[in-house]
Chain A
Amino acid sequence: MPKLTIDGIAVEVPANTTILQAAESVGVEIPRFCYHDRLSIAGNCRMCLVDVEKSPKPVASCAMPVGEGMVVHTKSERANKARGGVMEFLLINHPLDCPICDQGGECDLQDQAMAYGADRGRYNENKRAVRDKYMGPIVSTTMTRCIHCTRCVRFVTEVAGVPELGATGRGEDMEITSYLEKALTSELSGNVVDLCPVGALTSKPYAYAARPWELRKTESIDVFDAVGTNIRLDARDRQVMRVLPRIHEDINEEWLADKSRHAIDGLQYQRLDQPFVRKNGKLQPATWNEAFTAIASKVKGLAGSKIAALAGDLVDCESMLALKDLMAALGSTSIDCRQDGAALDPSVRASYIFNTTIAGIEQADALLILGSNPRTEAPILNARIRKRFAHGLPVAVIGTETDFSYKVEHLGNHADLISKIADGGHPFATVLKNAKKPMIIVGMGALARSDGAAILAAARQAAETCGMIKDGWNGFNVLHTAAARVGGLDLGFVPGMSGKNTRGIMEGAGKGDIEVVYLLGVDEIDTARLGNAFVIYQGHHGDRSAHRADVILPGAAYTEKDGTYVNTEGRVQEALRAVFPPGEAREDWSIIRALSEVLGKTLPYDTFKALRARLATIDPNFASVDQVKPATWGNFGTAGAIASSAFDYPVKNYYMTDPISRASRTMAQCSEEFVLGGKLKSGTHG
Chain B
Amino acid sequence: MSVRKLAEKQPATFVFNDEMLARAKRIIAKYPAGRQASAVIPLLDLAQRQEGWVTRPAIEVIGQMLDMATIRVLEVATFYTMFNLSPVGKAHVQICTSLSCELRGVGEVVRACKEKLGIGMGEVSADGKYSLGELECAGACVNAPVFQIGDDYYEDADYANTSKVLDALKSGGTLPKPGSLTGRDNAAPKGSPLTLVDDPTQPIPKQDFAVAKAAFEKAKAEAAAKAAAPKA
Contacts and interface: CB of A to CB of B under 8 A. Distances in A.
A170 B76 CA distance: 10
A171 interface: yes
Interface residues of A, number: 16
Describe A's contact surface by its main secondary structure: mixed
Nearest to A130: B3
Interface in B55-77: 69-72, 74-75
A166 B75 CA distance: 7
Interface stretch (A21-29, A173-181, A248-256): A173-181
A165 B72 CA distance: 9
Nearest to A163: B69
B71 A165 contact: yes
Interface string A215-237: 00000000000000000000000
A281 interface: no
Given A173-B1, A173-B3, A168 B78 contact: yes
B76 to A, nearest CB: 9
B70 A169 contact: no
B4 A173 contact: yes
Interface string A381-418: 00000000000000000000000000000000000000
Contacts of A168: 4-5, 74-75, 78-79
Contacts of A163: 69, 71-72
Nearest to B63: A179
B174 interface: no
B1 A171 contact: yes
B89 to A, nearest CB: 24
A425 B71 CA distance: 42
A442 B78 CA distance: 45
Contact of B69 (A164, A167, A169, A173): A164
A157 B75 CA distance: 14
Contacts of B70: 179
A173 B6 CA distance: 14
A166 B72 CA distance: 7
A169 B3 contact: yes
Interface centre among B3, B6, B71 (most CB of A within 10 A): B71
A166 B79 contact: no
B2 interface: yes
A178 B78 contact: no
Contacts of B71: 163-166, 177-179
B60 to A, nearest CB: 9
Interface string B1-36: 111111000000000000000000000000000000
B183 to A, nearest CB: 37
Contacts of B3: 169, 173, 175
A179 B1 CA distance: 22
A166 B1 CA distance: 20
Interface string A139-172: 0000000000000000001000001111111110
Nearest to A162: B69
Indicate the member of A164, A169, A175, A180 with the most B CB atoms within 10 Å. A169
B73 to A, nearest CB: 9
A179 B71 CA distance: 5
A163 B72 CA distance: 8
A169 B72 contact: no
Most buried by B among A166, A171, A177: A166
A167 B79 CA distance: 9
Nearest to B59: A179
Contacts of A171: 1
B98 to A, nearest CB: 14
Nearest to A167: B75
Nearest to A179: B71
Nearest to B6: A180
B64 to A, nearest CB: 13
Contacts of A165: 71
Nearest to A173: B3
Contacts of B72: 163, 166
A170 B79 contact: yes
Contacts of A169: 3-4, 78-79
Contacts of A175: 3
B81 to A, nearest CB: 9
Interface in A163-206: 163-171, 173, 175, 177-180
A169 B74 CA distance: 9
Contact of A173 (B2, B74, B75): B2
Given A170-B78, A171-B1, A179-B70, 18 more contacts: A163-B69, A165-B71, A166-B69, A167-B75, A168-B5, A168-B74, A168-B79, A169-B3, A169-B4, A169-B78, A169-B79, A173-B3, A175-B3, A177-B71, A178-B71, A179-B71, A179-B74, A180-B6
Interface of B: 1-6, 69-72, 74-75, 78-79
29 contacts: A163-B69, A163-B72, A164-B69, A164-B71, A165-B71, A166-B69, A166-B71, A166-B72, A166-B75, A168-B4, A168-B5, A168-B75, A168-B78, A168-B79, A169-B3, A169-B4, A169-B79, A170-B78, A170-B79, A171-B1, A173-B2, A173-B4, A175-B3, A178-B71, A179-B69, A179-B70, A179-B71, A179-B74, A180-B6
Q: Which 8 pairs show the lowest CB-CB distances between chains A and B?
A: A163-B69, A166-B71, A168-B78, A179-B71, A166-B75, A173-B3, A170-B79, A179-B70
